[in-house]
Structure 1
Amino acid sequence: MQWAIGLLLLLALLPALAQPGPATTPQARTVLVMGDSLSAGYGMAAHEGWVSRLGERLAKDRPGWRVVNASISGETTAGGASRIVGEVLRHRPEVVVIALGANDGLRGLPLREARRNLARMIGASQHVGAKVLLVGMRMPPNLGEDYTRGFERNYSDLAKLFDTGLLPFLLEPIALDRDAFQDDNLHPTIEVQGKLLDHVWPALLPLIEAADAD
């Protein structure tokens, strides 16, 4: 008798089991940003920084894309290199923006170490199939001509070696405008975050388009 009851229950459930399940939503394509306080939005709410604004622009202009901001204030290239494998495996990004090195330069850390760390980040990103935008920084002349030139050359040389996108200087649109910076004269204000995004966008968009075409 129990088996007959079980059979009746199974027959009653068959129509529901035969119904198609809800359509699955395609997973969003990801831009992963690995930066320091300039990308983390130091001194402002998280949604006010240029990276968050990038997420808003992608949602509007490139549906199906999202931004993961893995930037940390005070981060060095060594810190980024130690985190990159975990981040790219966790998020499986199509594009990785590497915007690190400013804190290395401000501390006068060896250029060779920064170059090695950036190379490791690029390599790990490309290993998972991501396209890379390397975002450079410039140092003040008081660090010495050899250091400042070598610092800039790290980015251009690595971009050529690994065939990445390159934005030579993140702060180029505002670098000479004192009013564009907070009281510390290091971190951009909320008001100029849109300018930073507009500066990054032309270098980033071709990588997004290339990822869409793959």
Structure 2
Amino acid sequence: MEQNRNGRRWTLYGVGALLLQAALLTGCDRHDAPPAPAQVENTAVPAPAPVAATPAPSGPARLILAFGDSLYAGYGLDRGQSLPDAVQNRLRRDGINATVVNAGVSGDTSAAGRQRFAFALSNLPRKPDLILIGLGGNDVLRQIAPAETRANMTAMLEEAKRRGIPTMLTGMMAPPNLGPEYTSQFNRIWPDLAKTYDTSLYPFILDGVIGDAKLMQADRVHPNPVGVDRIAARVAPLVETALGQGS
């Protein structure tokens, strides 16, 4: 039964990925092929925006940078419905005085994220207590070589390590229609990096929502508000643990 459910989930993910790829090519993607990091001007990089304010409990203030693509940015959702919003709300309900800065940019590949990562960190009011990194979905859509994705993710984790900032990864997985060689190489990236850098990992950001029409938008790839809350319910406890406040 579990194998059948996984097969159905991944079949729908593959179909949704193809639909989203077409949408990106017709205007949803905010980035063309990215230039080399040295060619990027800081003034062209969008500054992170704080999520909608909700009442904060007393206690030590915790600053979290949510750095990712459309799954963080809240593609197709109203303001205040993004995953960083939902995680912040859950942390605050659990008594953690957390502010989550949403640095998600729709269409970002890991290469585009790598280009703006240091800039995003340097423009926060202070060094964050934790960085959530969620990239890779657009790499799959473009069928970027897994070695390139790995190199970009590694560079960001190295930058965070250099600055002494803990990280947590929300992983991505390739649909099986891309072939066993690609999916095997791609899917190993996040567990390998989590082990190498001793960082927290939520293995697949869309786990538990992909393939369920009640939890997904019409493109079958981006979660709707109910789906976002489902993801946040699973991610927030890991964030609490990464902050040193979990059980």
Fold shared, TM-score > 0.5 on shorter chain: yes
Deviation track 1:4-44 (CA, whole Å, cap 9, x = no partner) reads: xxxxxxxxxxxxxxxxxxxxxx9832110111111111111
TM superposition score normalised by structure 2: 0.71
1:84 aligns with 2:117: yes
Deviation at 1:73, TM superposition (A): 0.6
Q: Which amino acid aligns with 1:57?
A: R
TM superposition score normalised by structure 1: 0.81
Runs of 4+ in 1 over 6 A off after TM superposition: none
1:152 aligns with 2:162: no
Distance in 2 (CA, whole Å) between partners of 1:144 and 1:192 is 27
Change (3 A) 1:81 1:62: farther
1:51 aligns with 2:51: no
Match in the other structure for 1:64: 97
CA contact (8 A) 1:31 1:94 kept: yes
Match in the other structure for 2:159: 124
Distance in 2 (CA, whole Å) between partners of 1:60 and 1:179 is 25
Distance in 1 (CA, whole Å) between partners of 2:120 and 2:97 is 20
Match in the other structure for 1:189: 224
Q: Which amino acid aligns with 2:225?
A: I
Which runs of 5 or more residues in structure 1 are unaligned?
1-25
SS at match of 1:31: strand
Greater helix share, 1 or 2?
A: 1
Match in the other structure for 2:20: none
Match in the other structure for 1:137: 172
SS at match of 1:206: helix
1:172 aligns with 2:207: yes
SS at match of 2:123: helix
Q: Which amino acid aligns with 1:165?
A: S
Match in the other structure for 2:71: 38
Q: Which amino acid aligns with 1:102?
A: G
> Once the two structures are aligned, what percentage of the paired residues are identical?
35
Q: Which has the higher contact order (CA 8 A, sep 6+)?
A: 2
Q: Which amino acid aligns with 2:203?
A: P
CA contact (8 A) 1:134 1:155 kept: yes
CA contact (8 A) 1:165 1:203 kept: yes
Change (3 A) 1:48 1:156: same
Distance in 2 (CA, whole Å) between partners of 1:177 and 1:63 is 31
RMSD: 2.0
Distance in 2 (CA, whole Å) between partners of 1:175 and 1:188 is 8
Change (3 A) 1:205 1:27: closer
Q: Which amino acid aligns with 2:100?
A: V
Distance in 2 (CA, whole Å) between partners of 1:138 and 1:63 is 30
Deviation at 1:124, TM superposition (A): 1.2
1:97 aligns with 2:108: no
SS at match of 2:65: strand
Structure with bigger gyration radius: 1
1:75 aligns with 2:108: yes
